[in-house]
C-alpha cells in the first residue's frame, strides 16, 4: 500500500532548522535561511545535530523541521524526532541525496511553496529494533533505513538463526544480515544485492550479507511481521548497528527483534523532482539514452 498525503498542508508559521554539526557550509546555509524566514515573519529555532544523548528538545508548536546536511543527518533527525508527527524537509549541502532531495540552489523556491502550504508529505515506515539479553530488554531504538547485524574485523562466518512471527525461517551462515525498510532499500541493502522498493510501501526487507548458501535470497515481508534473530554460544565479534550510526556489541544468547514502529516518519517531497528522477541521477540510469539523444540533436 502506497501512503502519500496528497492534501495541501496549511501554511507554515513556525519551524526548526537543524544543521549538521561541525560542517560550516551547513551552518552558514542554516543561518541564511533563518534570516530569510525572519523577513517572511516565520519563527525559526536553530539547532546543531548533536550525538546521543545530547539531543535538544524540539519546542512546542514547531510545524516543520528543515535539515541542512546529508542523508546521514536526516536519518539522525528522523530517529530523534520522527515520533513527533512533524514533517521533515531535507536539504542536501553537497550532492543530491536520496532523502535530502532539495539542493541549496532549490532551497528558497522550495521554501516559498512550503510556507504557502503547497507541498506533499510522504509517510515512511520506520522500524523498531529491540535487544533482549538474558530474557530482559536492554536496548531499544527506532531506525528509518536499516538494522544490520554483522561481524567485526575477523573474517569468520556468523550463524544467525532467524524467525518470522515466532516461526523458524532458517539459520543464515553469512557475513551478516540486513533488515531494511523501503526507504533503506537504496542504502546498504542495494549494495548487498537487494531490490529497490518504492519508499512509501509498507514492507520489511530481509537480506543476508554474502551468504554461504547461495539459495539464501532476499525476502520481502509485510509490515505486520516481527523478525527475530538469535545467537548461540559461537557468536563472537558481532555487532548490531542501526542506520549505520548507533549500535551494540552482541553476546551469546542475545535476541534481536525487529518490527514496524508504531508511527510513520513524515518527509516533505521535493517540489522539483520525482523519486524516479532521483534514482536516475544517483544510479546513472538513462545515461546511454541521454547520450544518444544528444548525438541525434547534433546531427
Active-site residue list: 71
User: DSSP labels for the chain?
Assistant: ---EE-SPPPPP-EEEEEE-TT-HHHHHHHHHHHHHHHHTT-EEEEEE-PPTT-PPPPPTT--EEEEEE-HHHHHHHHHHHGGG---EEEEESSS--SS--EEGGGHHHHHHHHHTT---EEEE--EEEEEEETTEEEEEEEESSEEEEEE-SS--PEEEEEEETTEEEEEEEESEEEEE-SGGGGTHHHHTTPPP--TTS-EEEEEEES-SSTT---EEEETT--EEEE--TT--SEEEEETTTEEEE--TT-EEEEEE-SS-EEEEPPSS--HHHHHHHHHTTTHHHHHHHHHHHH-
Amino acid at each position: 500500500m502506497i501512503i502519500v498525503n496528497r492534501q495541501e498542508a496549511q501554511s507554515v508559521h513556525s519551524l526548526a532548522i537543524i544543521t549538521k554539526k561541525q560542517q560550516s557550509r551547513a551552518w552558514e546555509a542554516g543561518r541564511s535561511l533563518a534570516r530569510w524566514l525572519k523577513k517572511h515573519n516565520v519563527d525559526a529555532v536553530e539547532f546543531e545535530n548533536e550525538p546521543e544523548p545530547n539531543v535538544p528538545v524540539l519546542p512546542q508548536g514547531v510545524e516543520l523541521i528543515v535539515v541542512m546536511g546529508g542523508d546521514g543527518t536526516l536519518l539522525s533527525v528522523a530517529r530523534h524526532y520522527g515520533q513527533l508527527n512533524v514533517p521533515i524537509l531535507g536539504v542536501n549541502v553537497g550532492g543530491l541525496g536520496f532523502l535530502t532531495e532539495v539542493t541549496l540552489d532549490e532551497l528558497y523556491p522550495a521554501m516559498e511553496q512550503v510556507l504557502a502550504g503547497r507541498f506533499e508529505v510522504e509517510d515512511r515506515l520506520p522500524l523498531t529494533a529491540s535487544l533482549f539479553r538474558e530474557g530482559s530488554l536492554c536496548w531499544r531504538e527506532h531506525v528509518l533505513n536499516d538494522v544490520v547485524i554483522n561481524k567485526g574485523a575477523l573474517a569468520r562466518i556468523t550463524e544467525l538463526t532467524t524467525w518470522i512471527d515466532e516461526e523458524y525461517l532458517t539459520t543464515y551462515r553469512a557475513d551478516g544480515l540486513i533488515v531494511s525498510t523501503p526507504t533503506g532499500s537504496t542504502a546498504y541493502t542495494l549494495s548487498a544485492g537487494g531490490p529497490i522498493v518504492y519508499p512509501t510501501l509498507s514492507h520489511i526487507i530481509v537480506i543476508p550479507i554474502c551468504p554461504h548458501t547461495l539459495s539464501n535470497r532476499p525476502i520481502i515481508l509485510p509490515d505486520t511481521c516481527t523478525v527475530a534473530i538469535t545467537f548461540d554460544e559461537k557468536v563472537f565479534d558481532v555487532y548490531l548497528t542501526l542506520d549505520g550510526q548507533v549500535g551494540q556489541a552482541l553476546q551469546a544468547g542475545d535476541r534481536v527483534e525487529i518490527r514496524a514502529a508504531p508511527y510513520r516518519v513524515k518527509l516533505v517531497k521535493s517540489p522539483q523532482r520525482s523519486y524516479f528522477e532521483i534514482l536516475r541521477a544517483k544510479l546513472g540510469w538513462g545515461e546511454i539514452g541521454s547520450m544518444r539523444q544528444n548525438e541525434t540533436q547534433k546531427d
